[in-house]
Structure 1
Amino acid sequence: MFSTSTKGAEASAAVFSLIETAKSNKLNPYDYIEFILDYLPQQDLVEDPKKLDWFLPWSEEIKEEFEIKAD
């Protein structure tokens, strides 16, 4: 509705999904996205694609990084 292109709508949906998933996992969405935008580009995900799992909002490592305890 607010996007002027299909690709823009898809990008918005991806970002909104990431924000809501972060909230569902009790992460501060702003801090979480800032963190992954800072650190994710430095990772060699082609060589080790399983590293991506570490950055997912439900990852225990991410919760520890943000000092959030799982319920």
Structure 2
Amino acid sequence: MAERGIKPFVLGRKNFLFAKSPKGATASGIAFSIIETGKANGLKPFYYLNYLFEKLPNINLEDYDTLDACLPWSESLPEEIRRKTESTEENN
């Protein structure tokens, strides 16, 4: 699964030469990491990023319990950012 997760980055590695700066490359790496981790945990990346962008500016970053609730494997994430699976659909 991990190798499949990074395949888009391997295919586009020449494009990353144009990140313009080390900070730009770092920002891209962080964004891609969040997106792929969200996907691996059954989240819709667009909705997960929107959730984080709305939630993170309004929380105390030293409150680890609140931060834990934002992690992609947290069970307290809103249902609308989760991908529907067959087992989820059967339970509804």
TM bucket by the smaller chain? Answer: 0.7 to 0.9
Return the offset for 1:44.
1.7
Q: TM-score, normalised by structure 1?
A: 0.82
CA RMSD of aligned residues (A): 1.8
Aligned equivalent of 2:57: 41
Residue 29 of structure 1 corresponds to 45
Q: Deviations over 1:13-67 (max 9, x none)?
A: 0000000001001100000000110111111223x233111101111112xx125
- Any unmatched runs of 5+ in structure 2? 1-16, 88-92
Question: Equivalent residue for 1:19?
Answer: 35
Structure 1 or 2, whichever has the larger Rg, is: 2
8 Å Cα contact 1:27/1:66 also seen in 2: no
Contact 1:27 1:57 in 2 (8 A): yes
Q: What's the secondary structure of 1:60's corresponding residue? A: coil
Aligned residues: 67
SS in 1 for 2:76: helix
With normalisation by structure 2, the TM-score equals 0.65
Is structure 2 residue 77 aligned with structure 1 residue 58? no
Q: Which 5+ residue runs of structure 1 have no aligned equivalent?
A: none
